[in-house]
Amino acid sequence: MSGNLFIITAASGAGKTSLVRELLSADHQIKLSVSYTTRLPRPGEVNGEHYHFVEDATFLKMLGEGDFLESAHVHGARYGTSQTRVDEALDAGNDLILEIDWQGAAQVRKLYPSAISIFILPPSITELESRLRGRGQDSEEVITKRLAGARDEMSHVGEFDYVTINDKFEESLLDLAAIVRAQRLKCNAQLARHAALIKGLV
């Protein structure tokens, strides 16, 4: 049985990474697809765990060889998802999360129409700016660019299947868990998962 592919998108600072981390901690049946990026690691980020950090030349070589399911150029850095790794996980029956931007989400939906897409919104632009500044990692110029990029990103929210507003963290986490659980309870998935039981019942 093929696993479920979940696309999770949010503007920088909306809390996507923290929510996904908690979801993965609570639900061991779902895995995170580790993307490739040309940006430098942030403090605490580990190569191969948070991202595969590669040089621009390596990324472009992989892109030219068709290694990426989707790729995008965001905030001066390149990001891409390995199609081989995604297909292997899904074919093994694992549920998989892609943390990607709206451009990547659009590319993935064309190749995987059954993918479930989720957009995480901040409660306000003011709160988003506060969260970006609270990181203490970016210059004023970078923050200004991220806020402009956030507005563009959020303008695509209507293209997604589900939306959660990350005002109260625990409520948004429950929203994500509910979406995942509901997808697993769909009829086709349950018929495949419990074939022997259902055969005995009917």
Quote the pLDDT of residue 1: 56
Mean pLDDT score of the chain = 91
Q: Over 108-173, what HEC string results?
A: HHHHCCCCEEEEEECCCHHHHHHHHHHHCCCCHHHHHHHHHHHHHHHCCHHHCCEEEECCCHHHHH
Taking the domain 5-33+94-201, which CATH number applies? Answer: 3.40.50.300
- Please write the tens of the pLDDT for every residue from 1-33: 589 999 999 988 899 999 999 999 999 999 999
pTM of the model: 0.84
Measure the CA–CA gap between 184 and 80, rounded to whole angstroms.
Answer: 27
* 78-88 CB burial, b ≥16 within 10 A, e <16: bbbbbeebbee
What is the spatial distance between Cα 49 and Cα 33, in angstroms, rounded to a whole number?
9
CB 7 within 8 A of CB 109: yes
For 135-162, the pLDDT digits (tens) are 767 778 888 888 888 899 999 999 999 9
Residue ranges per structural domain of the chain: 5-33+94-201
CA separation for the pair 195, 200 (Å, rounded): 9
